């Protein structure tokens, strides 16, 4: 194992309980762990393998580096976007679609088209740069079993026609689209954590990946958890990895999230108020760069950007069609009203 220059373990980004266990076991610097495997470390510290793996990953990272503000600006200008094929949706996200180098969370109740949107993005990320795409590959992490490859093929076929593809090459091109979507089926939260912890190796083998979709992030974390502190630590660890993937690999990370009901007790009465909010709690709201909420209003699908460091809050309409995500026949963005959210109506 390659170890960076000698550093105290206290300088590594480790959980407090892991740092304490390492200290009690006699480990003080990175050199002390130079020849220790993750399996041996897990056994010695009495921790799960994924936590020992996180220590090994920290050791394999380079030392702290910096870039100038000018370099950061140039990097931002080079970033690409992935179109949703809805002009209104793309406009809401800054003009060209879901940005690379960012974590975008899309929250919505069942039936809002989150999976359809994720599949559309997996196809659209492959559109050539000359046609306004990112010319990359996609990762689709399916935690719910909602990924239907036949549906992806339909979206790919419609996308190919939309960019002016010829009919005689359609089947071959659709097969190409499907071959560049790397699919992972996850059956539990431990599988999910293990996959994310090993993703660095996969990305090294597939450097052209420009999109990662997790559908959905909350599914395996909403039940069977009695230790909520553990759940929070696991989610925070994943969030850190998502931000790192987005930044270091210049990819778009899209997290699909479910909605849950929050009961609020009235201050001056016994009346309770029920409100739909994104799952996983308030702290999870910091995991993403941009957060979008999908909702029904007057029997039409709407999307509202509720959190962004550089985008103005606004609401648009979109549609889920046989071809994928599109604008509705007539798109009239809902007037901005920061004082009242449609979810509360």
Same domain, 50 and 78: no
- Mean pLDDT throughout 12-22? 82
What does the angle CA 35 – CA 40 – CA 46 come to, to the nearest 5 degrees?
Answer: 135
pLDDT of residue 62: 52
Q: What's 41's domain CATH number? A: 1.10.150
In a domain, 69, yes or no: no
| 334 and 302 Cβ atoms separated by less than 8 Å | yes
The four Cα atoms 239, 243, 246, 248 give a dihedral, to 10 degrees, of -130
Residue 227 has pLDDT above 90, yes or no: no
Residue 56 has pLDDT above 70, yes or no: yes
Helices (H) and strands (E) in the chain, counts: 10, 14
Length of the chain: 345
In a domain, 67, yes or no: no
pLDDT of residue 1: 45
Same domain, 244 and 281: yes
Residue 74 has pLDDT above 70, yes or no: yes
In a domain, 68, yes or no: no
Same domain, 27 and 134: no
Question: What is the model's pTM?
Answer: 0.77
Q: Kindly report the average pLDDT of the chain as a whole number.
A: 87
**Residue range 242-267, pLDDT digits in tens:** 999 999 899 999 999 999 988 777 66
**Residue range 275-304, pLDDT digits in tens:** 889 999 888 989 999 999 999 998 999 999
In this structure, how many other beta carbons lie within 10 angstroms of the beta carbon of residue 77? Answer: 7
Residue 265: enclosing H or E segment and its boundaries? strand 259-265
**Residue range 102-151, pLDDT digits in tens:** 999 999 999 999 999 999 999 999 999 888 889 999 999 999 999 999 99
Band (pLDDT 50/70/90 cuts) for residue 87 is very high
Full residue range of the structural domain in which residue 233 is found = 74-344
Question: What is the per-residue burial (b if ≥16 Cβ within 10 Å, else e) of 241-251?
Answer: bbbebbeebbb
pLDDT of residue 71: 85
pLDDT of residue 202: 95
Residue 345 has pLDDT above 50, yes or no: no
- Mean pLDDT throughout 11-39? 82
Nearest to 220 by CA among 253, 194, 183, 248: 194
In a domain, 65, yes or no: no
Same domain, 45 and 79: no
The mean-pLDDT minimum among 55-64, 215-224, 228-237, 305-314 falls in 55-64
- In three-state secondary structure terms, 103 is strand
Nearest to 292 by CA among 257, 335, 253, 240: 257
Residue 327 has pLDDT above 60, yes or no: yes
Residue 4 has pLDDT above 60, yes or no: no
**Residue range 164-187, pLDDT digits in tens:** 777 788 999 999 999 999 999 999
Residue 38 has pLDDT above 90, yes or no: no
Strand spans (E) along 136-224? 137-142, 181-185, 209-215
- Both tokens of 82, joined, read 């992935």
CA distance 146 to 174: 20
Instruction: Indicate the residue among 17, 34, 60 that finishes a domain.
Output: 60
- Both tokens of 213, joined, read 């979709």
pLDDT of residue 340: 38
Same domain, 254 and 326: yes
- Both tokens of 228, joined, read 């909520």
């Amino acid at each position: 194992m390659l170890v960076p220059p000698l550093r105290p373990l206290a300088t590594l980004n480790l959980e407090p309980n892991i740092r304490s266990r390492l200290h009690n076991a006699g480990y003080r610097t990175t050199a002390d762990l130079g020849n220790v495997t993750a399996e041996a470390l897990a056994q010695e510290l009495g921790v799960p393998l994924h936590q020992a793996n996180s220590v090994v990953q920290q050791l394999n990272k380079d030392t702290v580096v910096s870039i100038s503000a000018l370099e950061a600006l140039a990097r931002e200008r080079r970033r690409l976007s992935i179109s949703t094929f809805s002009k209104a949706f793309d406009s809401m996200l800054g003009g060209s679609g879901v940005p690379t180098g960012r974590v975008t969370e899309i929250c919505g109740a069942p039936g809002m088209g989150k999976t359809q949107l994720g599949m559309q993005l997996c196809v659209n990320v492959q559109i050539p740069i000359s046609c306004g795409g990112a010319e990359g590959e996609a990762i689709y992490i399916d935690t719910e079993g909602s990924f239907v490859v036949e549906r992806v093929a339909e979206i790919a076929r419609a996308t190919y026609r939309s960019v002016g593809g010829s009919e005689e090459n359609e089947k071959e091109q659709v097969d190409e689209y499907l071959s560049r979507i790397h699919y992972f089926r996850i059956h539990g939260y431990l599988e999910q954590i293990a996959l994310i912890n090993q993703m660095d190796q996969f990305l090294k083998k597939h450097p052209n990946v420009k999109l990662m979709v997790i559908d959905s992030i909350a599914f395996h974390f909403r039940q069977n958890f009695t230790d909520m502190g553990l759940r929070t630590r696991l989610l925070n660890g994943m969030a850190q990895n998502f931000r790192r993937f987005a930044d270091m690999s210049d990819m778009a990370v899209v997290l699909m999230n479910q909605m849950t009901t929050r009961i609020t007790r009235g201050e001056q009465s016994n009346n309770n108020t029920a409100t739909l909010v994104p799952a996983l709690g308030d702290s999870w709201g910091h995991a993403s760069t941009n957060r979008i909420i999908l909702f029904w209003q007057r029997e039409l699908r709407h999307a509202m950007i509720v959190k962004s460091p550089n985008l103005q809050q606004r609401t648009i309409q979109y549609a889920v069609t046989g071809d994928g995500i599109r604008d509705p026949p007539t798109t009239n963005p809902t007037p901005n009203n920061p004082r009242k959210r449609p979810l509360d109506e």
